Structure 1
Amino acid sequence: MRRPTSDVRQRESRRSSLDNAGSRRRNSSVPFHSARVERNPNSLDSDTDFLCDRAVEFMESGDIHSIVAVELAEQSMYFERLLRYHKGRGYIRLPEFLNSGFASVLEFIRKGTTELTPDNVYHIFIAADYLLVPKLKQECANLLRDVANDPATAIALWLSCRALYWPEVGTMAFQKLLENFEIVWPTPDFQQLEAIDVWRILQEDGLNCKREKTVFDAIVQWVNVTPKVRLQYAVDLLLCVRIGMLDTADLELMKNAELVKLVPDYLTLLQEWPACLTQTKNPMIVACGKRFITPRLPHEVGSGLDGMCNSFFVTTRYSGAW
């Protein structure tokens, strides 16, 4: 006797349900059902991959990283809050600028360490800072302070971090430029800076130089790269020189310099120094008179007077000389 059609349909329905359940069990250890994940080169070791239950996708490249959500949330306050509100099994999308350092952040969270080099430390720092992994961020900051002793690296960090809103790295790099100014100003990287950036460095009280004439030499070299273009900025840069900190010989050298002769108002200022300090209507004196006679930090004015020239000594802890 033939079975009723309804029984056949019920049996086929049950078989389909069992097949689907089996499929779910077979795939339960596979974190993501996507062909893109299978092609993803950014996987962890096989043991870790087995535990992964979420994925991160970067917005522009589409690169995908498998993650262990609980493990990441324990170490990153950013992910702890993000995963609290990000329900489901979809991709967690992150901005592209985190891509370069993200794998190292995952490695640090899982193993407690990751390789930091001068080439990768900047990108890892950005990722650690953004994802709120403070221990890794501090390790990166320590290395960044060391690599910033290189003038080219310090300039690159200062300019790039200023644009990407990482002020602590930019400030640290800027301080390194001031501290190492004696080796910074002769470099090609300094010569390629924009006028406003050169001015920002030269006008700082914390600029470290053994002789104030070094600042003048840096200006001359920078202008001479493209004189026709850069001569227009010479006045603003020359006003950064602390004239009162020059000795007599250096002051005379500046008066006879070709660049100064091309800036008549500044030449007149030097020729009338220091009597010009009383010229209250002179715009240069009004704007910079106080700065002209202010020692750079961390300079210390000596308590003794020179009986021969009747002037104060000025010393700096960096130069180690009077």
Structure 2
Amino acid sequence: MSSSTPIQPEAASVLTVVTTSQRRRLVEVTGFVAVWAVLGHLLRVDSETYLLMGVPLTVAFQLLIRRRPLRELWVRDAPAFTLDRRGLALAGAFMVTPLHLGLQALLQGARWALVCWWLVAAAGAVYAAFALRSIPFKLMLRSAVVPSAVGTGVLGLGLGGLHIITGSPLDGLAAAGTILKYLAIYLPVTFVLEEVTFRGALDAHAHEPGEPRGRQSALFISALWGLWHFPVSPSGFPIPLLILFVIVWHSLIGFFLSMAWRRTGNLAGAGLAHAAIDAVRNALMPGL
């Protein structure tokens, strides 16, 4: 008797349907990113407007393409969107920095897109609190450790090495203050911009729990995330080199962000890691 078991017709049919479904969903997320990036390129918008475009686009994708409730953008299996007293207090604390900076921008006559960006960041505080109150604190920290370590480690080696090569001084105390400042800014932001789209919506659509080829789909979504940055990437670099950079960098970081999201079904770990990486980047950039 042969040791291998032939796949029954019914099972083969199920496998075909699953594969077809996965491919269809990958096409859908690719189309979504393409539409957003093309609009940003054609309209030649600034980075704040480009990010803000994602809010209605993500809502439409979640409701019309995924056909899932909005609360699942932050917590995969949440039965309802609720905040207890601690959650409300947490949301209020997260709102302080973006509201303060948004008011400053308004009084200084800043561009409307920047003012709206700060308002959206303040709104993200509510969703950050919802996600954080839906996961044990230790589990959230564990899910954030690997992507944070990878991202900040690569930045430390790269940008720190540039400081050494160029002889640019780096004020450690100022860098620590910058990290804390931008953590307070970026943490609520990630729950309404970027992470909520690329992990909460697109990664969740491309890969459902229990499906095969999880690593490949995580890398695919992360590469799309990199290409999505192209319309607002710095000019002055050769285009092929710039495309290669955004794909490689965001594939490396995005893979671990996707894994954090998938393991917990909660955006808190990925959001914290993304905020930490961007905060460290901003702390290491001065002087370069």
TM-score interval, normalised by the smaller of the two chains:
under 0.3
TM-score by length of 1: 0.20
The structure richer in strand per residue is 1
**Larger RCO (alpha carbons 8 Å, 6+ apart):** 2
The structure richer in helix per residue is 2
Q: Find the structure with the greater CA-based Rg.
A: 1
